[in-house]
């Protein structure tokens, strides 16, 4: 029986769609959620500060909290209990450690659309999760789009 899902949340449309899928599955299964986001790139904080963007690190932290809080509210509306965590460090390693701490039976993560050559990879490497996770990993593809390019 699946009692807890760990859901990886970031600021992408694909991750929000995966979170919606996870909330629906948890509601149907009577499972609880642990919602995690990973703030990984501390080099970016230094560059933002050097560019005279005030309080860059705390602004990024507040943004991370807002992301997981949004999904927690979505879960609450469907009667699904959810805990949130903002993690710092290497994305996939932090997610795998969180699985152990919370006792998740399933990891839910978005499959990001293909990135152009030279683009930065997402903070949580799905392939790393698939290779090293001790629990099943549900990789949710991006939401289909209608003829107007809107998610369906």
55-71 pLDDT, tens digit each: 666 777 788 889 899 99
User: DSSP character for 47?
Assistant: H
- Residue 32: Cβ within 10 Å count: 18
Question: In this structure, what token pair is assigned to residue 108?
Answer: 């839910």
Edge-to-edge strand list for the sheet holding 82-88: 82-88, 32-39, 4-8, 106-110, 137-140
The answer to whether the pTM exceeds 0.85 is no
Question: In this structure, what token pair is assigned to residue 56?
Answer: 């860059």
Smallest CA-to-CA distance from 5 within 111, 15, 88, 19 is with: 19
Residue pair 140/110 in contact (Cβ under 8 Å)? The answer is: yes
Give the confidence band of 109 by pLDDT, cuts at 50, 70, 90: very high
Confidence (pLDDT) at 65 = 87
Confidence (pLDDT) at 121 = 47
Alpha-carbon span 48 to 45, nearest angstrom: 5
Alpha-carbon span 78 to 50, nearest angstrom: 43
Question: In this structure, what token pair is assigned to residue 92?
Answer: 């996939």
**Residue 9: its H or E element:** none
Query: Which comes out higher in pLDDT, residue 152 or 88?
Result: 88
**Residue 55: its H or E element:** none
């Amino acid at each position: 029986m699946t009692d807890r899902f760990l859901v990886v949340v970031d600021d992408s449309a694909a991750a929000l769609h995966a979170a919606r899928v996870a909330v629906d599955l948890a509601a149907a299964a009577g499972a609880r959620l642990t919602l995690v986001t990973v703030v990984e790139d501390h080099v970016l904080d230094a560059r933002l500060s050097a560019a005279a963007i005030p309080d860059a690190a705390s602004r990024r932290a507040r943004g991370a909290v807002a992301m997981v809080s949004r999904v927690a509210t979505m879960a609450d509306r469907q009667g699904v209990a959810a805990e949130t965590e903002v993690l710092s460090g290497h994305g996939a390693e932090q997610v795998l450690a969180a699985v152990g701490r919370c006792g998740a039976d399933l990891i839910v993560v978005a499959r990001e659309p293909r990135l152009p050559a030279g683009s930065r990879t997402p903070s949580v490497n799905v392939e790393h999760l698939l290779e090293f996770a001790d629990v099943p990993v549900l990789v949710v593809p991006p939401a289909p789009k209608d003829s107007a390019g809107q998610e369906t």
